[in-house]
């Protein structure tokens, strides 16, 4: 301690160049020693579990659980993926897998078919929208989560699976035997609403998303024959995915300006993406539909189009996941998913734990005080805080709200916030029961009428 004190006094006399490195080295040595003590603690606990736990344990399982606990203790989105989970994640981002080709939801404990995908085993076997899958290989789907049922239906190409289906109008269950094939899900589902409104629903952001979006817009423009009055981009219940795909989708509708930026712990790791010239919708008025299930990449797209006033955002507040996860493979041992940055909309807003607020709020159903609360990012344990009020430096200016909508008089007032009393319950197989969608369609028609032309460029 005498030597350290002498060094510190010398530094005080001749300047910090001597004192600071000495104290830093001492602090680093002290910190390193504490780290070694904690690692020894981990080893002691591990050995105690191996020797004394009531049942014999698998060393890999225990270590993987410890690693996962360490990562999940940071925030809700950091985690460890064992080799199988890592492969499943890669399948999802590639946008193809071995399976049947059915888009499904869950209803009354059973798996309900929303739609079979064209040219897939399910479509060829005659699976229909509205079918209820009650058994998979003779085992009831009651009690399974939707994800568990989906995992059972996926499998290697060429393998067989038996489904028992309950179909409206059929007195007896329908038994089908299908052979799995390579499935490329319709990540972009699209159609014309009434012949004049283009509707595209993006279900995820994987490697196929932006190309599928371009094909959808081209197809609908040809079908409409120059009569399009607007475009609806439906991002409801889209949990996100690849950042680069979100950037490309937003870029498809923007001619210039920032799309999104990310800021990490170190200032030099900040990144920014800007739009290139070219709007695949050629200036058609746009509505982006969001809800509490719109997260991450969906919020990047909605926030960029909202800040540039390229689209009107309609629906309810989004999930609020404003963090970026980097997948870091560990050779032979899966990968870790680690939160490495926050992302910000063009106006500098972090939506972490706050979400994207719609320009026009439209509810899917009438308010029900007994309905279960739907968790958002802010409700998750250890969710990162929002730092909008903390960035006041020249490099990180404070966030600003989006510019005003500047709509023609009366157009916004004609939007109905919630379904009428006694309106039919929402059924994903029946678009006419989708209140948010129908309001978006009518909004775009009213906007086109007020602007005096079907393809007048949107306000910027």
Cite the active site residues: 296, 307, 321
Nearest partner of 294 among 262, 327, 322, judged by Cα: 322
Q: In what order do the strands lie in the sheet with 230-234?
A: 188-193, 197-202, 230-234, 286-290, 312-315, 360-361
Could you give the 3-state DSSP secondary structure of residue 59?
A: helix
Decide: 336 and 89 in contact? Cβ < 8 Å.
no
Distance CA 458, CA 331 (A): 49
Distance CA 65, CA 382 (A): 18
Beta strand 286-290 pairing with 230-234 = parallel
Nearest partner of 295 among 362, 340, 243, 254, judged by Cα: 243
**Residue 177: how many other CB atoms lie within 10 Å:** 11
Decide: 458 and 283 in contact? Cβ < 8 Å.
yes
Distance CA 50, CA 3 (A): 45
Distance CA 419, CA 163 (A): 36
Burial class (CB in 10 A: 0-12, 13-18, 19+), 361: middle
Q: Which helix (H) or strand (E) holds 36?
A: helix 16-52
Distance CA 159, CA 177 (A): 10
Distance CA 219, CA 96 (A): 22
Decide: 311 and 257 in contact? Cβ < 8 Å.
no
Beta strand 286-290 pairing with 312-315 = parallel
Decide: 367 and 62 in contact? Cβ < 8 Å.
no
What are the residues whose beta carbons fall under 8 Å from the beta carbon of 156, sequence distance 6 or more?
A: 98, 180
Bridge partners, 274 (sequence order): 258
């Amino acid at each position: 301690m005498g030597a350290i004190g002498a060094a510190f006094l010398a530094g005080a006399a001749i300047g910090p160049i001597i004192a600071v490195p000495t104290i830093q080295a001492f602090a680093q040595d002290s910190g390193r020693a504490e780290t070694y003590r904690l690692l020894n603690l981990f080893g002691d606990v591990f050995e105690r579990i191996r020797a004394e736990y009531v049942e014999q344990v698998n060393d890999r399982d225990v270590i993987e659980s410890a690693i996962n606990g360490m990562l999940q203790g940071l925030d809700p989105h950091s985690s460890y993926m064992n080799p199988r989970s890592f492969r499943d994640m890669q399948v999802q981002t590639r946008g193809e897998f071995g399976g049947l080709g059915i888009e499904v939801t869950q209803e009354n404990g059973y798996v309900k078919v929303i739609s079979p995908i064209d040219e897939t085993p399910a479509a060829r076997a005659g699976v229909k929208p509205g079918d209820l899958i009650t058994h998979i290989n003779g085992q009831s789907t009651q009690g399974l989560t939707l994800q568990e049922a989906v995992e059972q239906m996926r499998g290697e190409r060429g393998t067989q699976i038996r489904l028992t289906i309950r179909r409206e109008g059929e007195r007896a269950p329908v038994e089908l035997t299908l052979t799995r094939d390579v499935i490329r899900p319709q990540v972009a589902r699209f159609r014309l609403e009434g012949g004049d409104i283009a509707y595209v629903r993006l279900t995820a952001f994987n490697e196929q998303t932006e190309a599928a979006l371009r094909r959808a817009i081209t197809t609908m423009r040809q079908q409409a024959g120059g009569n399009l009055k607007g475009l609806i981009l439906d991002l409801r219940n889209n949990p996100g995915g690849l950042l680069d795909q979100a950037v490309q989708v937003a870029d498809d509708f923007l001619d210039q300006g920032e799309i999104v930026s990310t800021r990490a712990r170190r200032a030099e790791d900040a990144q920014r993406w800007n739009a290139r010239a070219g709007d695949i919708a050629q200036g058609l008025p746009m509505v982006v539909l969001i809800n509490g299930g719109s997260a991450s990449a969906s919020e990047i797209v909605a926030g960029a189009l909202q800040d540039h006033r390229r689209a009107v955002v309609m629906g309810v507040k989004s999930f609020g996941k404003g963090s970026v996860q980097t997948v870091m493979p560990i050779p032979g041992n899966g990968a870790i998913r680690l939160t490495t940055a926050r992302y910000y909309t063009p106006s500098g807003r972090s939506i972490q734990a706050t979400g994207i607020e719609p320009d026009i709020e439209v509810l899917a159903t009438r308010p029900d005080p007994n309905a279960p609360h739907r968790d958002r990012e802010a409700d998750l344990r250890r969710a990162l805080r929002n730092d909008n009020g903390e960035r006041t430096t020249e490099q990180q200016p404070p966030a600003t709200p989006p510019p005003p909508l500047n709509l023609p008089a009366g157009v916004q007032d004609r939007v109905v916030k919630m379904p009428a009393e006694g309106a039919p319950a929402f059924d994903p197989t029946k678009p006419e029961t989708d209140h948010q969608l129908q309001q978006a369609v009518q909004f775009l028609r009213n906007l086109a009428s007020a602007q005096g032309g079907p393809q007048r460029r949107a306000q910027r």
